[in-house]
Structure 1
Amino acid sequence: MTEKEAGLKAFADRLNISLDAIHFAASGEGRQDALAKYMGVSQKGARKWLVGESYPVEDKRNRLAALCKVRYEWLMTGNGERYADDRTLRSQAENIETRVSDSLIRIPVMNVECSQGCGRYPPDYETMMDEICISETWLRHNALFSSPSNLSIIVGVGDSMKPTYQDGDLLLVDRGITEIKVDAVYVFRLHDEMYVKRLQSRPDGALLMISDNKAYEPFVITIENRAELKILARILFALNVNRL
């Protein structure tokens, strides 16, 4: 087997593993047909990707990685982390010893910037940049959260959530909340971009994506588009200070 053939086989293995993980049609002709329709290519073209006969053309690769919910670099080369979403954030945050003492808990500050405006792509690698220690008694008095181990801090970017949150505010989030049970402000992924917005359920099953800054119009997430929505965390509050 040549080096090129080995590379193609490894790519096909990663592609099929990723499609299995998202339950994207069973292997065989059914998967070939479904992938061809989704990607806008012929069945023959999709089959070549799946069996390791060719790589996708350049303009199809990002869409394929987005479908598989994996990093582009990992899918195409096998290098780096497989995921670039909250699973990376969660795995790193969970390795941190949460409790400092009987009264203090440690909360990681992650290198994640979420858009309070038009959306923002997540970083390829999500790592802990710093940590903040907070009184658990004070925290439980001021916020309801699932578990101390699910807490982390990210940065909100943009002005669309003013006056509630300011551009650059540190936002305390609960990663244990991944469903919309009440109308609140969430961190979520929509069409592969991350947002911080208020989400409000509508009787017809759609959602309103609301900016607290009245200069921005609400956006409707239709029932059809809800399949593209992934709740990553709920915002508890901002750790902000008055800037002098």
Structure 2
Amino acid sequence: MNTLAERLSYLMTQTGTTITKLQDVAGVSYEMARRYTLGTATPRDNKVEKIAEYFQVSPSYLKYGQGKAPEKTTALSTELVTTQRDNEHRHRIDYLDVYLAAGISGIENSDYPEIISTLFLSDEGMARFVGKRSSQGVSIVNVPTDSMEPTIRKGDIVFIDTTINCYIGDGIYAFSINGELYIKRIQKLMSGGYRMISDNQAYPPEIISDEIYANAQFVGKFIRTVHIDVMNL
């Protein structure tokens, strides 16, 4: 990791931190926070200090790579999550095929394997990864494309809240429009309609009119993403 952007992306991946959260931590716009992760903008010293404090690293590590890097750990440790229920891991979260949930059939999805069908989280695991006490309405999905990188890497485990079936504020949603599935960031426009945003700059934003939005079927709202080594579960 030779650059601030690489170290920042590493820390975000390890902690499941989204660009929206980074935006709040640094006190900058969403676009500026995204540019930090891409290396197209460098945070000022006061922003570096805020970000470093949040990730519990030194500003010199974040800015220059000086000092000891945080130890890399599996994002979902077996202390917090397993694939088998026991007395400690009581909260069940099932895998959701978002294509089926969106009513899309006939999809051959080789890049979207059902590697994990069910996870069981401890109370601490629920608090850390889901932010809720109950697993009701929470599902895990995989994301089949790189359009949301670096926020969501292709193949990462993503927790979504399926009780949310409409836009309730800026965030990342899984939804379908006219038989096409999307996992994108949505922002409501003051002029009417919505902006559909991919965090990956290779994918330009698109505008969703109110008429098109009326035909959208929402599967759920993004909670957070984690990268896991399935072999360790």
Aligned position for 1:224: 211
Please list the CA deviations of residues 134-184 of structure 1 after superposition, one character each: whole Å capped at 9, or x if unmatched. Answer: 123332344445951201111101111111111122211110111212211
Secondary structure (helix, strand or coil) at the match of 1:164 reads coil
**CA contact under 8 A between 1:120 and 1:195: conserved in structure 2?**
no
Shift in alpha-carbon separation, 1:194–1:136, aligned structure 2, 3 A: farther
Rounded to whole Å, the distance in 2 between the matches of 1:204 and 1:153 is 34
Match of 2:184 among 156, 173, 197: 197
Match of 1:106 among 92, 100, 105: 92
One-letter amino acid of the structure 1 residue matched with residue 96 of structure 2: M
Please list the CA deviations of residues 100-159 of structure 1 after superposition, one character each: whole Å capped at 9, or x if unmatched. Answer: 646630111234469xxxx994568xxx86211112333234444595120111110111
What is the CA-CA distance between 1:232 and the residue it aligns to? 1.3
Which sections of structure 1, spanning at least 5 residues, go unmatched? 1-98
What is the CA-CA distance between 1:239 and the residue it aligns to? 2.8
Matched, 1:176 2:163: yes
Matches within 5 A, 1:207-222: 207-222=194-209
One-letter amino acid of the structure 2 residue matched with residue 104 of structure 1: R
Secondary structure (helix, strand or coil) at the match of 1:224 reads helix
Matches within 5 A, 1:56-205: 101=87, 104-112=90-98, 121-122=104-105, 130-145=117-132, 147-205=134-192
What is the CA-CA distance between 1:190 and the residue it aligns to? 1.0
Task: Quote the sequence identity (%).
Answer: 27
One-letter amino acid of the structure 2 residue matched with residue 107 of structure 1: I
Secondary structure (helix, strand or coil) at the match of 1:149 reads coil
Which sections of structure 2, spanning at least 5 residues, go unmatched? 1-84, 108-113
Aligned position for 2:111: none
TM-score (norm 2): 0.51
Instruction: Identify, as 1 or 2, the structure richer in helix.
Output: 1
Shift in alpha-carbon separation, 1:131–1:102, aligned structure 2, 3 A: same
Rounded to whole Å, the distance in 2 between the matches of 1:228 and 1:146 is 33
Rounded to whole Å, the distance in 2 between the matches of 1:202 and 1:222 is 10
**CA contact under 8 A between 2:94 and 2:140: conserved in structure 1?**
yes
Rounded to whole Å, the distance in 1 between the matches of 2:166 and 2:181 is 16
One-letter amino acid of the structure 2 residue matched with residue 157 of structure 1: P
Rounded to whole Å, the distance in 2 between the matches of 1:111 and 1:242 is 20
Rounded to whole Å, the distance in 1 between the matches of 2:151 and 2:95 is 20
Aligned position for 2:44: none
Greater Rg by CA: 1
What is the CA-CA distance between 1:241 and the residue it aligns to? 3.5
Secondary structure (helix, strand or coil) at the match of 1:234 reads strand
Secondary structure (helix, strand or coil) at the match of 2:167 reads coil
What is the CA-CA distance between 1:186 and the residue it aligns to? 0.5
Rounded to whole Å, the distance in 1 between the matches of 2:220 and 2:147 is 19
Rounded to whole Å, the distance in 2 between the matches of 1:111 and 1:225 is 23
**CA contact under 8 A between 1:120 and 1:194: conserved in structure 2?**
no
- Please provide the CA RMSD for this pair: 3.1
Deviates more, 1:103-112 or 1:190-199: 103-112
Rounded to whole Å, the distance in 1 between the matches of 2:134 and 2:165 is 13
